[in-house]
Amino acid sequence: MDRSPNLKVSKSRTYFQLLIIMNVLLLAASAALLINQSAPVAEPRVVTARGDLGADERATIDLFRNARDSVVFISTRQRVADFWTRNVYSVPRGSGSGLVWDEAGHIVTNFHVIEGASEAQIQLADGRQFSATLVGVSSQHDLAVLKIGGAGFTAPARVPIGTSSDLQVGQNVFAIGNPFGLDWTLTKGIVSALDRSLPNENGPDIRHLIQTDAAINPGNSGGPLLDSAGRLIGINTAIYSPSGASAGIGFAVPVDTVMRVVPQLISEGRYTRPSLGVESDDDINDRLKRASGIEGVFVLRVDPGSSAERAGLVAAQRTRRGVAPGDIVTALNGKPVSRVGDLLARLDDFRVGQSVELTLMRGGEERTARLELEPGS
């Protein structure tokens, strides 16, 4: 039997199969080559040694490490009543920052941080948490003092106290706080301006504020503003921003004001403003200044038995022709005043019992009088 046709078919089929295998291998090799070309081998980069930190960087790191433990996180809650059921609930109100003031556990913060709150929780940098009690407030300075701890309480290290009397525009400052709840955040800036004023819903304008471009955001309020030596020079209080976020314009209550107010809040629970024992009014004062052309604060009333009365100050009198000016205060300890707010701000630099010198104008003649400051209302 002749098998040659089948043999030919078998050989052709084998050749065809080999051809397919060779093509597959060739395609695989080409694909591998393309993959190798499109995906080069990734090797780790060599780490470059950084070297020593700069002196200013080391100083900033040390400043934060030394001050961090004295800064606290404050969260507040407010009790609200359901209109229909009259059930009372405690709901979150806000958060802010504060500063450990002394070993007794007093915490300094802003008044607006705790305003309207029914309870406040304090968290220290080491994780300890305490319920705080309110010691005292001064809404006119936007300052408040809370108290934490008890028997066996160990206070963290406190930041050293500086002074705001010798601050200069341009010097470095550092803010530590909890902006937007981001706890223990450090920002850096400079003193942008001094002796700024801000309107205050709770009384006279807040005066003598430090302006800084260190980033201060909601949640920073109540935290410390430090100088480059790590000393407390202010308590961060407010920002100027149309958006509500930092715009490079922040304000702090100067530490010299804090040092006058906080001890009174701790010992008495309130701040007593020093007074001359006279009364004035902004609107009337402005009218009298326009009518007389004299810049100063017109004395409208002298309190009986006050140091002003003992010093011989004379109040304005009503006559048939109008108001006859008495004494006009033009300066306090050599610093000029032209508005009632100016006089109150100057007085706020002193304590009850201290003496001040007034420059007075009466009947076109200038004279001086020394008065002892009394407790105000």
Task: Compute the average pLDDT of residues 249-267.
Answer: 93
As a whole-number percent, the residues of the chain with pLDDT over 90 amount to 47
CATH label of the domain that carries residue 236: 2.40.10.10
Cβ–Cβ < 8 Å for 113, 122:
no
Nearest CA among 130, 102, 95 for reference residue 221: 95
* Distance, CA of 346 to CA of 360 (rounded, Å): 15
Confidence label for 1 from pLDDT (cuts 50, 70 and 90) = very low
User: Is 187 in the same domain as 107?
Assistant: no
Of 246-255, 294-303, 308-317, the one with minimum mean pLDDT is 246-255
| Runs of H (alpha helix) within the chain | 4-38, 55-68, 111-114, 255-268, 282-292, 307-310, 340-347
| Residue 228 lies in domain | 172-268
| Per-residue pLDDT tens digits for 19-37 | 677 766 777 666 665 555 5
How does the average pLDDT of the chain come out, rounded? 86
Q: Is residue 329 situated within a structural domain?
A: yes
Q: Which residues are catalytic?
A: 112, 142, 221
pLDDT(110) > 50: yes
In this structure, which amino acid lies at residue 253?
A: V
Q: Which of 169-183, 287-301, 313-327 has the lowest mean pLDDT?
A: 313-327
- Note whether 194 and 238 are same-domain residues: yes
Separation of alpha carbons 20 and 26, rounded Å: 10
CATH code, domain carrying 344: 2.30.42.10
Task: Please tell me the predicted confidence (pLDDT) of residue 31.
Answer: 62
Please, where are the H alpha helices in 225-269? 255-268
What pLDDT score was predicted for residue 58? 93
Residues 325 and 279 reside in one and the same domain:
yes
